[in-house]
Amino acid sequence: GRPAMNDVLARRERVLGPALSPLTYDRPLYLVRGSGSRVFDHEGTAYLDAYNNVPVVGHCHPRVVAAIARQSAELNTNTRYLHDSVVELAERIIATMPNDLDTVMFFNSGSEANDIAWRLASIHSQATGAIVTDWAYHGVTTLTTALSPESWPRGEKPEYVETIPPPDDWRWSVNAEPIGGDIHIDEAVAKLRARGIAPAAFFVDSLFTSDGIFNPPPTYLQEVARRLHAVGCMFVADEVQCGHGRAGTHLWSFQASGITPDFVTLGKPMGNGHPVAAVVTRREIAERFASGADMFSTFGGNPVACKAALAVLDVIEEEQLRQRAHKVGDHLRGGLMELKDRHEAIGDVRGAGLLIGVELVADRETRTPAPGLARDVLNGMRQRGVLIGTTGPAANVLKIRPPLVLSMSEADVIIETLDASLGRAHSPAYA
Ligand code: PMP
SS (H, E, C) the chain: CCCCHHHHHHHHHHHHCCCCCCCCCCCCCCEEEEEECEEEECCCCEEEECCCCCCCCCECCHHHHHHHHHHHHHCCCCCCCCCHHHHHHHHHHHHCCCCCCCEEEEECCHHHHHHHHHHHHHHHHCCCEEEEECCCCCCCCHHHHHCCHHHCCCCCCCCCEEEECCCCHHHHHHHCCCCCCCCCHHHHHHHHHHCCCCEEEEEECCCCCCCCCCCCCHHHHHHHHHHHHHCCCEEEEECCCCCCCCCCCCCCHHHHHCCCCCEEEECHHHHECECCEEEEECHHHHHHHHCCCCCCCCCCCCHHHHHHHHHHHHHHHHCCHHHHHHHHHHHHHHHHHHHHHHCCCEEEEEEECCEEEEEEEEECCCCEECHHHHHHHHHHHHHCCEECEEECCCCCEEEECCCCCCCHHHHHHHHHHHHHHHHHHCCHHHC
Q: If pLDDT is split at 50, 70 and 90, which confidence band does 290 have?
A: confident
Distances (CA, A) of 303 to 80, 86, 348: 12, 7, 44
Ligand 1 centre from 74 Cα, in Å?
Answer: 30
In this predicted structure, the answer to whether residue 427 has a pLDDT above a threshold of 70 is no
Q: If pLDDT is split at 50, 70 and 90, which confidence band does 428 have?
A: very low
Could you read off the pLDDT of 221-253 as tens digits, one per residue? 999 999 999 999 999 999 999 999 999 999 999
Ligand 1 centre from 416 Cα, in Å?
Answer: 30
For residue 182, the model assigns a pLDDT of: 67
Phi, psi angle pair for 136, to nearest 5°: -70, 155
Largest CA distance in the chain: 63
Best residue for ligand 1 mutational test, from 240, 254, 391 (most atoms within 8 Å of Cβ): 240
**Atom of ligand 1 at shortest distance to CA of 277?**
15
For residue 20, the model assigns a pLDDT of: 80
Closest residue by Cα to atom 5, ligand 1, is: 241
Ligand 1 centre from 113 Cα, in Å?
Answer: 9
For residue 181, the model assigns a pLDDT of: 52
Could you read off the pLDDT of 295-332 as tens digits, one per residue? 999 999 999 999 999 999 999 999 999 999 999 999 99
In this predicted structure, the answer to whether residue 179 has a pLDDT above a threshold of 60 is no
Q: What's the pTM value of the predicted model, to 2 decimals?
A: 0.96
Angle at 137 between CA 36 and CA 118, to 5 degrees: 110
For residue 30, the model assigns a pLDDT of: 97
**Atom of ligand 1 at shortest distance to CA of 241?**
5
Q: 386-387 and 397-400 as β-strands: parallel, antiparallel, unpaired?
A: unpaired
Angle at 310 between CA 305 and CA 311, to 5 degrees: 100
Ligand 1 centre from 401 Cα, in Å?
Answer: 14
Ligand 1 centre from 143 Cα, in Å?
Answer: 13
Could you read off the pLDDT of 20-34 as tens digits, one per residue? 888 999 899 999 999
Closest residue by Cα to atom 16, ligand 1, is: 111
For residue 173, the model assigns a pLDDT of: 60
Closest residue by Cα to atom 10, ligand 1, is: 138
For residue 170, the model assigns a pLDDT of: 81
Q: Which residues line ligand 1 (CB under 6 A)?
A: 109-111, 114, 137-140, 205, 238, 240-241, 267-268
For residue 209, the model assigns a pLDDT of: 98
Ligand 1 centre from 110 Cα, in Å?
Answer: 5
Ligand 1 centre from 335 Cα, in Å?
Answer: 29
Ligand 1 centre from 114 Cα, in Å?
Answer: 9
Mean pLDDT of 125-146: 97
5-9, 181-185, 194-198, 274-278, range with the lowest pLDDT: 181-185
Best residue for ligand 1 mutational test, from 241, 299, 399 (most atoms within 8 Å of Cβ): 241
| Rounded Cα–Cα distance for residues 278 and 267 (Å) | 6
